[in-house]
Structure formats: structure tokens, C-alpha cells
Amino acid sequence: MFDNISAKLYEVMRKIKGTGVITEKNIEDALKEIRMALLEADVSYKVVKAFIDSVKTKALGEVVLKAISPGQQFIKIVNDELVSFLGDAEKPLDYSKQPLLILLVGLQGSGKTTIAAKLARFLKTEKNFKKLLLVGADTYRPAAKDQLKKLASTIDVPFYTEDHNDAIKIVQNAYTLAQDELYQAVIFDTAGRLHIDEDMLAELKKMKALIPFTEILLVADSMLGQEAVNIAKGFNEALGITGLVLTKVDGDSRGGAALSMKYITAVPIKFMGTGEKLEKFEYFYPERVASRILGMGDVVSLVEHIEKTVAIEDAQKAEAKFRKANFNLEDFLEQMQAMKKMGPMEDLLKMIPGGAQLGNINIDEKHMKSLEAIILSMTPKERNHPEIINDSRKKRIAKGSGTTSEKVNKLLKQFAQARKMMKQMSRKKHGKPSFPGMPF
């Protein structure tokens, strides 16, 4: 799943990733392509519109246009919106009450019976449930009960059904049995139809009225296209589902159903079926899925990393000061320390797209450390007015920092040069701040 949409979005993101200056036009163009990619992946029109509008509002805000690396900031916004459209956090089952009563609903062939057995296996092996019951309440298809019975025996979980066609009676009796015998969890497999069908919904509604289900999970084939919306809506309006289970995620579906159904129902996608075998069952992690769709996990973590350590405002303040050319060694020290907080330069470089190829930009951390030591050995007055540093001060600073007078001299010279250049640049009112002659 998602391969197609992923390839398309990756291309859009790749184009915008390294963009140093971003305009409204860049954003509009990227959004147009994202819109196409989503529609081609069969995401519902309504959901595509909501998604694009939401990204647009955020992307045209101050943050992107003023960010240090706007292209990457934009990718982070798209990623965050994807996560939010897929559900903000994985929602496990509610284990607080026992017996855990799980009703599985969905169209015929969606994978309910398979999921019933997968869930039972999961509760047994991963959650250590000792007393589990699988209930065959699909009285619509002749072989349905047998199918579940066979699966139940392969995982050694008790199976319950009755030999008649009254599904409601079967469900009721199974519930009574679960209470009497203190079962910890009961999973009810029900009948589906090829389409949303009034009889089917009426039967399920009756079950819901009789039994206090902990979860009503809609099992849905991830191959569903535009009709996913109506199916999700139909089941949700009739039953008030508590979660979604996406099946056949291993297939070559385009992934649109996942985005659409979560948005339309506002209930979390709790699990995914990723194959016919019973162990092919996973939690649905919105973050992981979003990063698989975008293929830009690295960029997102880089932006998060930088956001965490250097507030954008701080960087802007420093930049403004630099432009005014009253940037002094105190500010220089602050900048260096802020960079240090971000972790080893090499790790940081690795996270920058293409950063691994920047091997020839040699950031000598030892050199940075000795520069820092020199500045730290200065008095605040010296840092603010480096011109007062005479030979005897130089000697004292060299001694304090464990360096030499020559090194102190070199730093002061480079700094004076940099400042001079900055003054010229700001007089011309252009040019990006940098540290000419400095190690970065």
C-alpha cells in the first residue's frame, strides 16, 4: 500500500526540500501536485480539499516563509497534517473493563473473520489473555461459522456458535456464557453484505442495543476507493463505531481509504492486517505511516531537532543584531553554544538531506572548542569591546584558555575582519549573514 502515492509525494517534496527561499507560488505549485497525488490515490475529494486547505493555511503563515530552511519546514507541515489526518496517536483497545466485548462489522470479504482470529491471537500472545472466546455469528454465509471454527482451533482459542440462523440469539447467549464463566474477552464475528444494506445494519443495531460492547470495530479493505467514505459513514451513523481496522495493507492498494475513513468518521484506525496469516497483524502508527507515505522521515526529524534546540526567534534576533553590525564576541559565543546544544556537527550533517555528501566541509570540533575556551577566558567587557584587548590581556586570555597568544590574536583578527565585512554588507543592505573567515 502507499507505494504509488509515496513515489509521487516524494518527488514533490524532493523538489521543494532544498529551497532556500520559498514563495507563495512555490507553495501553490507544490500543493497542486500534492492534490493530484492524493486524488490519484483515491482519497475522497472532500478529504483532499480539507487536507490541502489545512496545509495551505499553515504553510502560508509566518513560520515557513521566515524559517531557516523553508523547504524543510514545508515538508514538516505536510507530514504533520498527514499524521493528524491519519489519527494523532495509535489508540489501543480499552482494556479497563472485562470482559472485553469486541464486535466486528464490515462488508463481506473485508476480512472480518480473519481479523477475529488475528485479534484473538494478539490478545492471547501479546496481551496475555487466558480466557478468550471467538463467537461465530455470521449466519448469512453457509461456511462462515466453519471458517472461524477452523481458525480458532489453529490458535487454540475456544469457539462458540449455535446451529441456527438467529445471529442475535447466538450473540446474546455467548455474552451470557462469557459472564457466567468469567471470560476476559469475547470477539463477535458478524455477517457482511456486498453493499451497505438495511437488514444488515438493523441486525447489528439490535445486537448493540442488547450488549454493552467495549469496541465496535469497522473492518475495511484498504483497497476501497471513493466508496470508502460512504461505507464508513453508513456503519458509523448506524452503530457509532469505536475504531477502524484496515485490512489487506500488503496489497497494492493506493492507500486513499486510510486517509478518507479516519477523517470522515473521526475514529482512530487501531490495527492493520498485513497478510493472510494470523500473525500479520499490527498496530496502526500514524507517524510511521505518514513517514512511509512521504518518504521524508529524515527531514522531519531534522526540523524537529532544530526546533527543539534553537528557537526560530532567537535565530532571528541574532540575525538582526548581526545586520546592525554590533555583533560582538558575546553573541559569537552564544551562537557557538547554541550550535553545540544541537549535538555533534557530524550527526547533524548526516540528517541534512544530502548532508552525507558534504564531507569536505570540515567542521573541526576541536578548533571550535578552543575558540570557545578563548572567548570564555575573556571578561564580559573584553567580549563586548575586543579592541581593548592589548598584549598583556592576550597573554592572560591565552593562559586561561590553555592556548597561545597567537591563537588569541588569530581569533581577534578573524572576528574584526568578519565584523568589517558585515558593516559593509549592511551598508549595502543586502547579503546573508555568515561568518566569513570563521569555521562556519
| Binding footprint of ligand GDP on the chain (CB under 6 A) | 106, 108-114, 192, 247-248, 250-251, 273-276, 280
Q: What b-and-e string marks burial along 209-236, b requiring 16 or more CB atoms within 10 Å of the CB?
A: eebebbbbbbbbbbbbeeebbebbebbb
Query: Quick count: other Cβ atoms within 10 Å of Cβ 114?
Result: 23
Question: Hey, which residues does 100 pair with through a beta bridge?
Answer: 185
CA pseudo-torsion sign 347, 348, 352, 354: negative
Q: Which residues in 111-170 contact Mg ion (CB under 5 A)?
A: 112-113, 144
Indicate which of Mg ion, ligand GDP, none lies near residue 247 (CB less than 5 to 8 Å, by partner kind).
ligand GDP
Beta strand 269-273 with 281-283 is antiparallel
For ligand GDP, the closer of residues 108 and 230 by Cβ is 108
Q: Tell me which residue has its CB nearest to Mg ion.
A: 113
Q: Which residues in 220-249 contact Mg ion (CB under 5 A)?
A: none
Which of the ranges 30-38, 51-59, 110-118, 244-252 carries the binding residues for Mg ion, by CB under 5 A? 110-118
Indicate which of Mg ion, ligand GDP, none lies near residue 184 (CB less than 5 to 8 Å, by partner kind).
none
State the minimum distance, in angstroms, from the CB of residue 272 to ligand GDP: 8
For Mg ion, the closer of residues 70 and 111 by Cβ is 111
Indicate which of Mg ion, ligand GDP, none lies near residue 297 (CB less than 5 to 8 Å, by partner kind).
none
Indicate which of ligand GDP, Mg ion, none lies near residue 43 (CB less than 5 to 8 Å, by partner kind).
none
State the minimum distance, in angstroms, from the CB of residue 210 to ligand GDP: 22
State the minimum distance, in angstroms, from the CB of residue 113 to Mg ion: 3
Q: Tell me which residue has its CB nearest to ligand GDP.
A: 273
For ligand GDP, the closer of residues 248 and 394 by Cβ is 248
Kindly list the distances between the CA atom of residue 215 and the CA atoms of 186, 192, 253, in Å, as whole numbers in the listed order: 11, 17, 26
Indicate which of Mg ion, ligand GDP, none lies near residue 426 (CB less than 5 to 8 Å, by partner kind).
none
Per DSSP (E only), the strands in 274-323 are: 281-283
State the minimum distance, in angstroms, from the CB of residue 14 to ligand GDP: 31
- Report the first-to-last Cα separation within the chain, whole angstroms: 43
State the minimum distance, in angstroms, from the CB of residue 61 to Mg ion: 48
For ligand GDP, the closer of residues 223 and 329 by Cβ is 223
SS3 (DSSP) at 241: coil
CA-nearest of 327, 336, 316, 317 to 420 is: 327
Pair 310, 186: CB distance under 8 Å: no
State the minimum distance, in angstroms, from the CB of residue 249 to ligand GDP: 6
Indicate which of Mg ion, ligand GDP, none lies near residue 110 (CB less than 5 to 8 Å, by partner kind).
ligand GDP
Indicate which of Mg ion, ligand GDP, none lies near residue 273 (CB less than 5 to 8 Å, by partner kind).
ligand GDP
For Mg ion, the closer of residues 138 and 215 by Cβ is 138
Cα angle 105, 227, 212 (rounded to 5 degrees) comes to 20
Indicate which of Mg ion, ligand GDP, none lies near residue 291 (CB less than 5 to 8 Å, by partner kind).
none
Indicate which of ligand GDP, Mg ion, none lies near residue 139 (CB less than 5 to 8 Å, by partner kind).
none
For Mg ion, the closer of residues 112 and 394 by Cβ is 112
Indicate which of ligand GDP, Mg ion, none lies near residue 87 (CB less than 5 to 8 Å, by partner kind).
none
CA-nearest of 73, 148, 160, 75 to 116 is: 148
Indicate which of ligand GDP, Mg ion, none lies near residue 355 (CB less than 5 to 8 Å, by partner kind).
none
Per DSSP (E only), the strands in 235-333 are: 243-247, 269-273, 281-283
Helix (DSSP H) and strand (DSSP E) numbers for the chain: 20, 8
State the minimum distance, in angstroms, from the CB of residue 108 to Mg ion: 7
Percentage helix, strand, coil for the chain under 3-state DSSP, each rounded to 5: 60, 10, 30
Alpha carbon 198 to its chain's center: 38
State the minimum distance, in angstroms, from the CB of residue 278 to Mg ion: 14
State the minimum distance, in angstroms, from the CB of residue 253 to ligand GDP: 10
Pair 78, 294: CB distance under 8 Å: yes
For ligand GDP, the closer of residues 55 and 148 by Cβ is 148
Pair 238, 202: CB distance under 8 Å: no
CA-nearest of 43, 34, 46 to 8 is: 34
CA pseudo-torsion sign 392, 394, 399, 401: positive
State the minimum distance, in angstroms, from the CB of residue 136 to ligand GDP: 10
For Mg ion, the closer of residues 113 and 139 by Cβ is 113
State the minimum distance, in angstroms, from the CB of residue 254 to ligand GDP: 16
Q: 284, exposed or middle or buried, with CB in 10 Å at 0-12, 13-18, 19+?
A: buried
Helices (H), 155-227: 167-180, 198-210
Residues near Mg ion (CB under 5 A) are 112-113, 144
